[in-house]
Amino acid sequence: MNRQLSATALPALALALVGSVLWVQVANGGGAFEPLQPADPCVERTVTSRDEGIEGLTERLVLLGIDGAACILGVSRESLTLELAQPGPRTDEQIDALRRGLLSAVGRMKRDGTLPPASDLADEALANADLNGLLKKLILALPDSVIDAAVKTDDVLVRTINDLDLREVLADIDDQDDLNRQVNAAVTQAVKESLLQTLRDLV
């Protein structure tokens, strides 16, 4: 008898518990379900990087650049990232928006003081450079003040972005991991080359 009572009572007890939970949710405003809205890419957000040096700089540049591109196109950053990570050709509108977004990111980092001086990046740019030893020593011997007076990080980034073939960079991307990896790698390499050329011109 007790076993039969338990068999009929347990479902009723479970139903009562579910009902009470639902009632609490409704009483606390949980009756109206609204899906989470993606963040507005036009609203500036704080972006940090896990890396340092040139790679950290370019990672932040790309993240802010995608925000800017999404704002220009009137889509969420998540939507744009998914679109760019799909195989196939990119539209002129996407390429133009991404370039404008990257250039806008440079301006923002300059305004908020998060662009490192060129002297902070010089050693890294020279580390694996294909230069003869004497030229490398001459550049390394330059005082930081001389490098920073002659080489502006924002100028290097703007020149890099304008010269970068974004269509080629995005050509073989077929997922979001590829998007982040290839764009960051391409921008990092381009920044190193541009910075290196400018440093060579100093000597």
* 0.85 exceeded by pTM: no
Domains of the chain, residue spans: 53-202
pLDDT of residue 187: 83
pLDDT of residue 178: 67
Q: What is the distance between the alpha carbons of residues 14 and 44, in angstroms, rounded to a whole number?
A: 47
pLDDT, tens digit, for every residue of 37-79? Answer: 777 889 888 888 778 888 899 899 999 999 999 999 999 999 9
Query: What does the pLDDT profile of the chain (203 residues) look like in tens digits?
Result: 444 434 444 334 333 333 333 333 334 444 444 445 777 889 888 888 778 888 899 899 999 999 999 999 999 999 998 888 887 888 999 999 999 999 999 999 999 999 999 999 988 888 877 777 788 888 888 899 999 998 899 999 999 999 989 998 888 776 666 677 778 888 888 888 888 888 888 87
pLDDT of residue 140: 83
Q: What is the distance between the alpha carbons of residues 39 and 22, in angstroms, rounded to a whole number?
A: 29
Q: What is the distance between the alpha carbons of residues 146 and 119, in angstroms, rounded to a whole number?
A: 9
Query: What are 177's two structure tokens?
Result: 């991991």
Q: Which of 129, 112, 152 is nearest to 200 (CA)?
A: 129
